[in-house]
């Protein structure tokens, strides 16, 4: 088990390397029915939520992850009205989407209701009331089944999944990506959580191949999320409008200013720079 019993939480995502987080007060721990979930306090990162031995989010650095997976596609698109989030039980992605006042509806599909409830109870600063926003449509269901069965269309689809193990594995398949594409409006954008390429190069290659078979423009953008061990985190990017990821900061900046966003990581310059990939990632995609 990931709790060493000596006041440290040992992450078990990778076979040969690991990180340890000091565990202060444990706020909650049990099996939810689908996953082993623990929420505890850390002196540096604040409150931490982990599932099945893997850190999912922390109060200290969640803003990097959530800002980049929402503001990049929404501001690149420029006319987003409806968003679909698959996963994202902590509510951070929902919160950032709703910061865009032009967004009329955010449908969030989460497979595990208890993750939502526990996040509201123990990590309220991450969702910051987003679940009470009248534009929120929370659906407790399997995300893969939802995209196959719904007839709704969305301008942006955000896959805020766990890593491709256990319940999250299906959210990395070509079948699921095809379902997401079918739900996009013309010119819509799909973005995904795609792991840490330095330690998970296979995941990067697989996603690139699968997305590339379905979309006219498929690639990645990156950001450093301190609590996700191993360097840059990759975010999958897929759309049929290749121009969307080739916009300048000067083109993005008026949209950012008009949205009135207050951010801690995202800026229009970071937006553009995030699509410049390190050489080792480019080599992995060859």
Phi and psi, residue 277, nearest 5° = -95, 145
| Whole-number pLDDT of residue 167 | 58
Q: Confirm if 9 and 48 have CB atoms less than 8 A apart.
A: yes
- Confidence class of residue 1 from pLDDT cuts 50, 70 and 90? very low
Q: In this structure, what is the dihedral angle of CA atoms 65, 118, 100, 211, given to the nearest 10 degrees? A: 50
The per-residue pLDDT for range 49-78, each reduced to its tens digit, is 998 888 999 999 999 999 999 999 999 999
The per-residue pLDDT for range 90-113, each reduced to its tens digit, is 999 999 999 999 999 999 999 989
User: Which region holds residue 33: left if phi is over 0, alpha if psi is between -120 and 50, else beta?
Assistant: left
The per-residue pLDDT for range 170-217, each reduced to its tens digit, is 767 888 999 999 999 999 999 999 999 999 898 899 999 999 999 999
Give the mean model confidence (pLDDT) for residues 1-5: 47
State yes or no: 269 annotated in a binding site.
no
Residue with tokens 């800002």: 67
**% of the chain exceeding 70 in pLDDT:** 93
d(CA 271, CA 250): 11
The per-residue pLDDT for range 212-229, each reduced to its tens digit, is 999 999 999 999 999 999
Give the mean model confidence (pLDDT) for residues 119-145: 97
Looking at the DSSP bridge assignments, the partners of residue 58 are 48
| Whole-number pLDDT of residue 161 | 81
Give exposure, 31-52, as e/b (b: 16+ Cβ within 10 Å): eeeebbbbbbbbeebbbbbbbb
| Whole-number pLDDT of residue 2 | 47
d(CA 48, CA 126): 11
The per-residue pLDDT for range 225-242, each reduced to its tens digit, is 999 999 999 999 999 999
State yes or no: 36 annotated in a binding site.
no
Task: Reply yes or no on whether the pLDDT at 3 is more than 60.
Answer: no
State yes or no: 90 annotated in a binding site.
yes
The per-residue pLDDT for range 151-175, each reduced to its tens digit, is 999 999 999 986 655 556 676 788 8
**% of the chain exceeding 90 in pLDDT:** 83
Give the mean model confidence (pLDDT) for residues 118-133: 97
Known catalytic residues are 160
State yes or no: 155 annotated in a binding site.
no
Give the mean model confidence (pLDDT) for residues 260-278: 97
| Whole-number pLDDT of residue 165 | 56
State yes or no: 197 annotated in a binding site.
no
Q: What is the mean pLDDT of the chain?
A: 92
């Amino acid at each position: 088990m990931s709790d060493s019993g000596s006041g440290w939480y040992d992450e078990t995502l990778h076979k040969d390397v690991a990180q340890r987080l000091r565990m202060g007060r444990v706020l909650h721990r049990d099996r939810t029915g689908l996953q082993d979930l623990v929420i505890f306090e850390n002196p540096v990162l604040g409150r931490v939520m982990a599932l099945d031995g893997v850190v999912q989010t922390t109060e200290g650095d969640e803003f990097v992850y959530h800002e980049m997976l929402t503001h990049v596609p929404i501001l690149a698109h420029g006319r987003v009205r409806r968003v679909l989030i698959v996963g994202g039980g902590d509510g951070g992605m929902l919160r950032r989407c709703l910061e865009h006042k032009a967004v009329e509806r955010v449908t969030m599909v989460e497979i595990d209701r208890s993750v939502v409830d526990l996040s509201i109870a123990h990590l309220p600063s991450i969702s910051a009331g987003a679940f009470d926003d009248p534009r929120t449509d929370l659906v407790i269901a399997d995300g893969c089944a939802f995209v196959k069965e719904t007839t709704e269309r969305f301008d942006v689809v955000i896959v805020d999944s766990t890593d491709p193990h256990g319940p999250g594995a299906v959210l990395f398949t070509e079948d699921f990506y095809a379902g997401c594409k079918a739900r996009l409006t013309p010119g819509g954008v799909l973005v995904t959580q795609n792991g840490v390429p330095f330690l998970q190069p296979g995941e990067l290659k697989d996603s690139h191949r699968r997305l590339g078979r379905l979309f006219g423009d498929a690639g990645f953008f990156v950001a450093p999320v301190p609590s996700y061990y191993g360097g840059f985190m990759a975010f999958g990017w897929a759309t049929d409008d290749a121009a969307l990821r080739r916009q300048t900061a000067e083109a993005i900046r008026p949209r950012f200013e008009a949205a009135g966003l207050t951010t801690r990581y995202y800026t229009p310059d970071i937006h553009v720079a995030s699509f410049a990939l390190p050489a080792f990632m480019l080599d992995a995609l060859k």
